[in-house]
Amino acid sequence: MADTPDPSRVHPTTRPELTNVAFLSTVVSSPLIEIGDYTYYDDPDGAAEFETRNVLYNYGPAKLRIGRFCALATGARFIMPAANHPMIGCATFPFAMFGGDWTRATADIAAGLPSKGDTVIGNDVWIGRDATIMPGVHIDDGAIIATAAVVTSDIPAYGIAGGNPARVIRRRFYDADVELLQRIAWWNWPVQAITDHVRTIMAGQPKELAALARREGLLDD
């Protein structure tokens, strides 16, 4: 049997001392949060509390969707669309949230406000310490978000972004290689195939990984 971490357990079974690391799919219960296998959050103060401490204003209907094999550093936060205040008139004060006459007079306005939609994080995304992801942002596969970045707009696949507001600093690969990597989609391979070829996945170049995937029948041209 392969000695690989079990994604159905909270902490990595191959490194039981890593109690600061939690596989998020095992600790999240909200139907508004979807997280793929092996995506982890690292926080010595309670990684398993990610749902309540790091996903803010999670009242719906928009969802937070995170793919597989993502790495989230301590303090990474997701601000959900319910945090938004009205900006269609003279005031931004959220009268509708306080109940009573204020809610009765403004509930229809609040319900009709435009939403930024789901926040979507792709696969193999690395989000640095204390980064903040704003409502409705899409971060594509293989992207890197720098420490303390505030991401207010979409980040392309294999982009490296930092700053406030975050901007793409550079791309990790040329466009053709990015397209190839997304076709390879190693994160969707069977776990045994990932284990067999983990060195190439981690340190190889896109064309090497593509050649390997073709040999294994994991990539069609």
Catalytic residues: 85
Residue 121 phi/psi, 5° resolution? -115, 130
79, 135 contact by CB (below 8 A):
yes
State the virtual CA torsion across 97, 100, 101, 106 in degrees, nearest 10: 30
Q: Which helix (H) or strand (E) holds 35?
A: strand 33-35
216, 193 contact by CB (below 8 A):
yes
Residues 129, 131, 136, CA angle at the centre, nearest 5°? 145
Q: How many CB atoms within 10 Å of residue 88?
A: 10
DSSP conformation class of 155: B
57, 110 contact by CB (below 8 A):
no
Q: Give whole-number Cα distances, 115 to 83, 124, 131, 164, in Å.
A: 10, 27, 22, 22
